[in-house]
């Protein structure tokens, strides 16, 4: 199902909070950006900072970590960009082309759409714009902010998978006593919040675990190869709970023994991969 942000649990949540659930939450996107920033070449880091310094939009501050959250803030008033944040590869019938609306041709500039498109296409389109020196400065700034965000989105397993449940938004989890969450929010925010409240400190801790071998292994590829990887993570590590397909069954699901501990490790791995790959994308797109 597309339009995952409009599932019943999310509609209720939207009545209480100013923004919908987002991949990794704002903190997670900042963690990804902080990991990436450490791997940028000095020249590319300077280009990123110069582009952001020239930004006139006031939704978010113009540092790299804050800019990585901009696309979610923008989506709140530009719902035509909602479906750009995920790719609904169905567990029961995985089909990347179908999840990407048949890979429609991109508009020019890329920020014009199309609205019915997925994060795989949008990330590729904005990366190409960012790399093209002929792109206008205003569009290049938009492209940079979308790239900063969409690499993170693509590595959140529930933004690359679906069980006909709005990316886990319909799955209610019992967390002990009266506490509940939905599966999507559990992966978006709870797991990251448990890593710490300071995104830069969390990023430093995760980066310390990234070996040169990991970095080499994760660099390369493209959104069309990263999406199936995230889908596989979702199938192997996220949807291992006793949840049924669809949104009809609202009974809370108990987490299996060891699920949360294993999920924290998987979330950390995905944040690390996203950070390394974001740096790799930027270093190539903005190379001198």
C-alpha 13/C-alpha 180 separation (Å) is 13
User: Average pLDDT for residues 123-142, to the nearest whole number?
Assistant: 98
> In whole angstroms, what is the distance from residue 246 CA to residue 27 CA?
29
pTM over 0.85: yes
Q: What pLDDT score does 9 carry?
A: 37
Instruction: Say which DSSP state 187 is in.
Output: I
Query: Of 160, 284, 150, which is closest to residue 219 (Cα–Cα)?
Result: 284
Q: Which residue, chain included where needed, has tokens 């999840």?
A: 99
Per-chain mean pLDDT for the chain:
92
Residue 283 has pLDDT above 70, yes or no: yes
Q: How confident is the model at residue 176 (pLDDT cuts 50, 70, 90)?
A: confident
Confidence tier at 177 by pLDDT (50, 70, 90) = confident
Which pLDDT band holds residue 250 (cuts at 50, 70, 90)?
Answer: confident
Assess whether pLDDT exceeds 60 at residue 13: no
Query: If you average pLDDT over residues 120-148, what whole number do you get?
Result: 98
At 223, the pLDDT band (50, 70, 90 cuts) reads very high
Domain ranges of the chain: 1-288
- Considering the four listed CATH numbers 3.90.1150.10, 1.10.575.10, 1.10.10.10, 3.90.180.10, the one that applies to the domain covering 1-288 is 1.10.575.10
Asked if residue 10 has pLDDT above 80, the reply is: no
Q: What is the pLDDT of residue 242?
A: 86
Confidence class for position 6, pLDDT limits 50, 70, 90:
very low
pLDDT at 189: 93
Q: Decide if pLDDT at 64 tops 80.
A: yes
Q: What is the pLDDT of residues 194-216, one digit of tens each?
A: 999 999 999 999 999 999 999 99
* Closest of 116, 128, 82 to residue 223, by C-alpha: 128
Query: What local confidence, expressed as pLDDT, does residue 267 receive?
Result: 98
Is the confidence at residue 11, as pLDDT, over 50? no
Q: Which pLDDT score, from 0 to 100, does residue 23 have?
A: 72
Q: How far is CA 31 from the centre of its chain?
A: 12
- Pairing mode, strands 180-182 and 172-174: antiparallel
Beta carbons of 155 and 273 less than 8 angstroms apart: yes
């Amino acid at each position: 199902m597309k339009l995952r942000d409009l599932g019943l649990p999310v509609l209720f949540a939207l009545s209480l909070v100013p923004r919908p659930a987002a991949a990794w939450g704002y903190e997670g996107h900042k963690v990804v950006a902080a990991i990436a920033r450490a791997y940028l070449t000095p020249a590319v880091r300077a280009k990123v900072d110069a582009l952001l310094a020239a930004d006139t939009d006031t939704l978010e501050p113009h540092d790299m970590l804050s800019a990585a959250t901009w696309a979610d803030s923008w989506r709140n008033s530009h719902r035509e960009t909602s479906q750009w944040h995920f790719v609904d590869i169905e567990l029961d019938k995985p089909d990347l082309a179908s999840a990407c609306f048949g890979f429609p041709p991109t508009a020019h500039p890329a920020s014009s759409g199309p609205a019915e498109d997925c994060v795989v296409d949008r990330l590729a389109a904005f990366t190409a714009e960012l790399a093209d020196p002929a792109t206008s400065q205003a569009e290049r700034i938009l492209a940079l902010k979308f790239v900063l965000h969409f690499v993170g989105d693509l590595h959140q397993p529930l933004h690359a998978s679906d069980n006909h449940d709005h990316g886990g938004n319909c799955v209610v989890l019992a967390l002990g006593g009266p506490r509940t969450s939905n599966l999507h929010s559990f992966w978006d925010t709870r797991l990251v919040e448990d890593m710490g409240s300071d995104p830069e400190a969390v990023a430093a801790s995760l980066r310390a675990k990234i070996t040169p071998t990991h970095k080499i292994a994760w660099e390369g590829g493209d959104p069309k190869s990263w999406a199936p990887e995230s889908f596989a993570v979702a199938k192997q590590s996220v949807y291992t709970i006793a949840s049924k397909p669809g949104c009809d069954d609202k009974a809370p699901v108990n987490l299996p023994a060891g699920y949360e501990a294993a999920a924290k490790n998987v979330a950390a791995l995905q944040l690390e991969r996203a950070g390394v790959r974001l740096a790799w994308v930027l270093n190539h797109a903005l190379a001198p």
